[in-house]
Amino acid sequence: MYKLFSVRRVGAVAVGVILTVAAGCAPVKPSSGYSAQQRAAREAPATSLAELIYLEMQAVHLEPPASDQILGTRIVEALAARLDPDRLYLLESDLQAAASTASQWPSRYRANDLESPRELIRRLHRRVKARAALAIDMLSTESLFESVTVPVVPADRAWAASMAELESRWKAVLQQQVASSAELGLDRRTTVDVWLSSYGKLPQEMLAEHPVDSCMDCMHALVAAYDSASTYYPQHGVNFQLGLVGVGLTLRLVGDRTEIVNIAPAGPASRETGLRQGDIILAVGESDTQLQTVLGWSLDKTVELIRGKAGSTVFLKVIRLKKEAPAEVSLIALRREEVPLQEAAVSGSLIESIRDGRSRRVGVVRVPSFYFDYRAHRRGDANPASSARDLGRVLADLKGQGAEAIVLDMRGNGGGSLKEAVDLTAWFMAPETVVFMQGRDDRTQPMTPDAQAVVYNQPLVILLNRNSASGTELFAAALRDRGRAVLVGEGTWGSGLVRYPHQLANRPHTGISQPGELYITVARLYRVDGEGIQLTGLKPDLLLPSDLPLMRKPDPLALPAKSIAVAPPPTMGLKPSAFATLQDLHAARLAAAGPDSDDTDSFWLEQAVEVAVDLAMLGKDESR
């Protein structure tokens, strides 16, 4: 789970960006439009929110389930995954009981009968209370603090078969939490206080997050049953995004810890704070003497504590774990503010690397997202903010300064405007098909950038990580598949879908106030060789080491990977012998650097720059 709570200013409106790494690249919409059957389905009036969402999903979604039995089964799976993602509360028998009536769930939803899903929510709350009571009791025992081997929990473990198995899981989690607290340097008294407070609040917090009388969990499960990338935003959630003010961090929850995933360029957290990807946030407060420990907190709650009034200060206590050295604990003050789009834009710098006694100039370009100011464009502004336009300007500047190669740093770029991602390729090669899009009608639509002069035709390296997704994957794949770039880093996320926003208020309904918005998966995206990136992602040409664990769990509700038959692109790029040389040089540098680095971010960038220098030295004679 990820939450990005920096704020970007688009036109005159401050818009908080919620990064959904499984999302596609709105606002591109398949060109085929709606069929007569789809139009008829969209014109049918709805009498409840559930029916309204159902009709819209059936009419628009890329691959709607073929029967109520399939849809109902997937609703049960989606609700269980939403309520109990770690499989700590619901039993296998609970799910079997729900599945036995799954074929009736869609019709019950359409009739606004939500009793079946609410029964699962009630069971959840009963088990949460039992778990909290068990943990509070265990925190007073000596045996909890004895040295024990904490079992490793598999990401895909089965649902528990009995209450005894659930209680065993609760005990194992508490043991992990106590061990984690010791690893972070907390003494026994503090550890007990932290977890007594956390478990004491757990039942009430769970009730607030999953209220029995609310229909929101039921609606989210209905949408996720079509595929896990499709999303429902209630109206209050849509409006709430307009007021987010934070510090420019992307966070995720890893067990009981809140971890920094990415730092927004030019945001408050990027300004010589010393914060790095992988740092763990221990506590948050309005002053350095009033810090609230956030171990065991939900991500939403931690983010809420970090947010605040623009111009105010928030203090973060963070810890950096090291393999063979004591952990480093720091207290950092950050000023909350908006992160204007132009400050989070494409930026470049020139780096000099000495090789064989000669200085080599490499341009490093940071591309944080594929942005385009559609509001300014609709107002008629001649030059709305555009990642493609900004990249062209930065490349021309670096070329003028004598850059012999370019590194595009696209780590953490989760996508954005698909058209921008497509247009960016034209700065590096003549306009060619970059991606194929295929919608519900199975028609394959090639996407090609607007014609423009190539700005940079010298060696190109693209630096990627596991949080590079969607448009970034397609952009990098297009340049790699056409032999124009070498990819360095680690495997990417694997997001090959297009989602499109649908305002539910725009379709017929009866008496439903502010029904909210759907982001519906409407198409798949394919590389120029016909291969999909959904779930599989991209594998780099040259791998870089990472100590971060892979956090993506198996997702049975995700649309599977597919491929299409297209004419393969011509074979280009480095000759095999030159590529082998490149691999050997890269491997030798990694071996010489050793297994550990104090700053993984900087180490990765340094290695990417060295690969760029290798390419510059190999020269065009080694290209096909």
67-94 confidence digits (pLDDT tens): 999 999 999 999 999 999 889 999 999 9
- Answer yes or no: are the C-beta atoms of 607 and 566 closer than 8 Å: no
d(CA 243, CA 593): 45
E-strand stretches of 221-256: 231-233, 249-254
Highest mean pLDDT range out of 260-264, 412-416, 553-557?
Answer: 412-416
Percent of the chain with pLDDT over 90: 58
Residue 14's pLDDT is what? 25
d(CA 276, CA 597): 13
Residues 6+ apart with CB under 8 A from 41: 55, 58, 59
Q: Look at the domain 344-494+529-558+569-622 and name its fold.
A: 2-enoyl-CoA Hydratase; Chain A, domain 1 (3.90.226)
Would the pLDDT of 118 be above 80? yes
Would the pLDDT of 234 be above 50? yes
* The token pair that represents 201 in the structure block: 């609040």
Question: What average pLDDT score do residues 399-424 get?
Answer: 95
Residue 25's pLDDT is what? 37
Q: Which tops the pLDDT comparison, 184 or 171?
A: 171
Question: What average pLDDT score do residues 276-299 get?
Answer: 88
Would the pLDDT of 419 be above 60? yes
Would the pLDDT of 126 be above 80? yes
Helices (H), 339-446: 374-379, 387-400, 418-424
Tell me the three state secondary structure of residue 543.
strand
Which residues face 364 on adjacent strands? 349, 407
DSSP 341: G
Cα–Cα distances (Å) from 242 to 17, 338, 503, 506, in that order, read: 9, 11, 16, 21
Q: Which tops the pLDDT comparison, 4 or 513?
A: 513
Mapping DSSP onto H, E and C, the string for 43-98 reads HCCECCHHHHHHHHHHHHCCCCCCCHHHHHHHHHHHHHHHHCCCCCCCEHHHHHHH
Q: Which tops the pLDDT comparison, 202 or 47?
A: 202
Which residues face 4 on adjacent strands? 250
Residue 463's pLDDT is what? 98
Residue 407's pLDDT is what? 99
Other Cβ atoms less than 10 A from the Cβ of 539: the count is 11
Which residues in the chain are classed under CATH 2.30.42.10? 246-335
Among residues 81, 5, 210, 63, the alpha carbon closest in space to that of 553 is found at 81
What residue type is assigned to position 293 of the chain? T
Would the pLDDT of 624 be above 80? no
Residue 10's pLDDT is what? 25
- Answer yes or no: are the C-beta atoms of 474 and 435 closer than 8 Å: yes
Residue 403's pLDDT is what? 98
E-strand stretches of 410-468: 435-439, 444-447, 460-464
Other Cβ atoms less than 10 A from the Cβ of 606: the count is 15
* The token pair that represents 282 in the structure block: 């221990």
Burial (CB count <10 Å: 0-12, 13-18, 19+), residue 386? buried
d(CA 520, CA 509): 19
pLDDT confidence tier of residue 343, bands split at 50, 70 and 90: low
d(CA 608, CA 105): 52
Span 543-596, pLDDT tens digits:
999 866 565 677 899 999 999 999 888 777 788 899 999 999 999 999 998 766
State residue 9 phi and psi, 5-degree precision.
-95, 120
Rg (CA), the chain: 25
Would the pLDDT of 331 be above 70? yes
Question: What average pLDDT score do residues 8-33 get?
Answer: 34
Question: What average pLDDT score do residues 161-188 get?
Answer: 91
Mean per-residue pLDDT over the chain, rounded: 85
- Pairing, β 497-503 against β 486-489: unpaired
Q: Which tops the pLDDT comparison, 217 or 375?
A: 217
Tell me the three state secondary structure of residue 574.
strand
Which residues face 436 on adjacent strands? 446, 526
Would the pLDDT of 26 be above 60? no
Highest mean pLDDT range out of 10-14, 42-46, 239-243?
Answer: 42-46
Would the pLDDT of 534 be above 80? yes
pLDDT confidence tier of residue 19, bands split at 50, 70 and 90: very low
Would the pLDDT of 345 be above 50? yes
Dump the DSSP string for 1-32: -EEE--EEEETTEEEE----TT---TT---TT
Residue 250's pLDDT is what? 82
State residue 265 phi and psi, 5-degree precision.
-60, 135
pLDDT confidence tier of residue 55, bands split at 50, 70 and 90: very high
Span 131-141, pLDDT tens digits:
999 999 999 99
How much is the pTM? 0.81
Cα–Cα distances (Å) from 53 to 46, 110, 113, 381, in that order, read: 9, 9, 14, 36
d(CA 78, CA 224): 6
Question: Domain spanning 246-335 has what CATH number?
Answer: 2.30.42.10
Residue 597's pLDDT is what? 60
| Backbone conformation region of residue 423, classed left if phi is above 0, alpha if psi is from -120 to 50, else beta | alpha
Place of tokens 């990819």: 487
Which of 125-129, 184-188, 432-436 has the lowest average pLDDT? 184-188
pLDDT confidence tier of residue 375, bands split at 50, 70 and 90: confident
d(CA 340, CA 17): 12
Would the pLDDT of 351 be above 50? yes
